[in-house]
Structure 1
Amino acid sequence: MNSVKNLLVDAIEHTTALDSGDIESAARLIFRTWQQGGTVISCGNGGSASTASHFAADLAKLTIVPGCPRLRTLCLNDNASAFSAWTNDEGFDTVYTEQAEPWLDDKATLISFSVHGGSRATDASAVSSNLGKVAELAKSRGSSVIAVTGFDGGAAGDVADAHINVPHFTEPVATPLIESLHVLIHHALCVGVRQLIQEDAK
């Protein structure tokens, strides 16, 4: 089956091409949020919503260093009631800005996971418009912004302080490959943040 072989071959190529420096830069932003007692806020749509949720769980658990404060994490797509209420009342593009409103400050880090990074169009019906809007709100509050994307990075990648991109463009392989590597990236971030906390504790 050529499609299976292509996915595996491309996965090796794009894994090898990942820039560890980009991942380290993002890990340092998260570490700074931990130092300041802020909150790391994650989000995503579709399959990337599950990555954002998985990341928040792992970041809270895998970065525990005995004797050190724990890292505060929050995933914006985990509350189905809030998500559906804001979609119903104000529109899908508001679901993350409204939930993030009380959390975003100059100690926070926002991290979005997205295959396309969200449309650069500004209308409310644009694909993943909620990601661009919450990133803009985060920037206006002085929060750090991390984007983990695919394709050309989209709106989320444009405004990010740290951008980790998997530049695959050919479907039907691109989306499953990008989503798979995003999980690897999120685990790398957790490992990197833990190391920084350990080093700080010495």
Structure 2
Amino acid sequence: MSTVDDIQLYLAEKRAIIDQFPVDAVVAAAEMLFRTYDEGGTVYAMGNGGNAGTLDHAYCDFKHHPFVSEDKSRPVSASVRRLTFVNLCGSSAELSGLVNDLGPDNMFSASLEPFATERDLVMAYSGSGNSPNVVRALQAATKAGARTFAMTKGDGGRCRELADVCLVVPGTSRFPGQTGRNDNNFHFEDLMLSVNHMLVGLLKQRVGQAAQAVQLTA
């Protein structure tokens, strides 16, 4: 195949995935996010490798984007509830310390377990659905009574069994770099950012409604 053919293949695969994307799972994730926000809970998120980088992006978006005006000139009223978002892979010092002391399989659960409550939402991202550190964190979240969302691909792995809502990216790929054990991983990582943007936008809409209600009662 030529380079043009490969690029067209990638885009064709992407369109096919979007056409069969599990929208119901995004709706369910949004509902859990709304409940967490309304109850003053905390969103915790985790992932490995490139997914951790995407979560750094998500941390910025979730923490700030819903709470600025549409023209980005000012924050919404201080009386409007903010969202607490914790990126469990955000600190290299914390992660390396936990790996050194407790091992890589416990790096997320050790950070999460002392703090998670039933008001919280734990979001887990794993291409295989079987990353041991993600699986153990989901188990800790479930034990704490927290809501749990996972995003994965393939057969969903352990994450599909453990999470309250598991979004499994459909499809398979023939594009270079995401075949074999890495099947569909580029598409998964692309769509992880898309899902985060959908959730941030939906939360911004909800926050905007809350801000309008504050203005009407002021």
1:148 alignment partner in structure 2: 151
- Matches for 1:1-202 after TM superposition, within 5 Å: 1=3, 2-64=5-67, 66-67=76-77, 68-118=80-130, 128-170=131-173, 172-173=177-178, 174-200=184-210, 202=213
Q: Deviations over 1:66-98 (max 9, x none)?
A: 231111000000111111111112110010011
Count of aligned pairs between the two proteins: 193
The answer (yes or no) to whether the contact 2:13–2:173 under 8 Å persists in 1 is no
**Secondary structure in 2 matching 1:63:** helix
Q: Is contact 1:28-1:193 (8 Å) kept?
A: no
In the TM superposition, structure 1's runs of 4+ consecutive aligned residues that sit over 6 Å from their partners are: none
Deviation at 1:28, TM superposition (A): 1.2
Aligned Cα RMSD in Å? 1.6
Cα pair 1:24 1:192 within 8 Å, conserved: no
Summarize deviations over 1:96-137 as a string: whole Å, max 9, x none.
01111232100110001221222xxxxxxxxx2000000011
| 8 Å Cα contact 2:22/2:169 also seen in 1 | no
Sequence identity percentage: 26
Provide the rounded CA distance (Å) in 2 between the counterparts of 1:107 and 1:48.
Answer: 25
Q: 5+ unaligned residues in a row in structure 1: which ranges?
A: 119-127
* Residue number in structure 2 paired with 1:122: none
**Cα offset, 1:200, TM superposition:** 4.7
Q: Return the TM-score normalized by structure 1.
A: 0.89
The answer for unaligned runs of 5 or more in structure 2 is: 69-75, 179-183, 214-218
TM-score for both structures, normalised by structure 2? 0.83
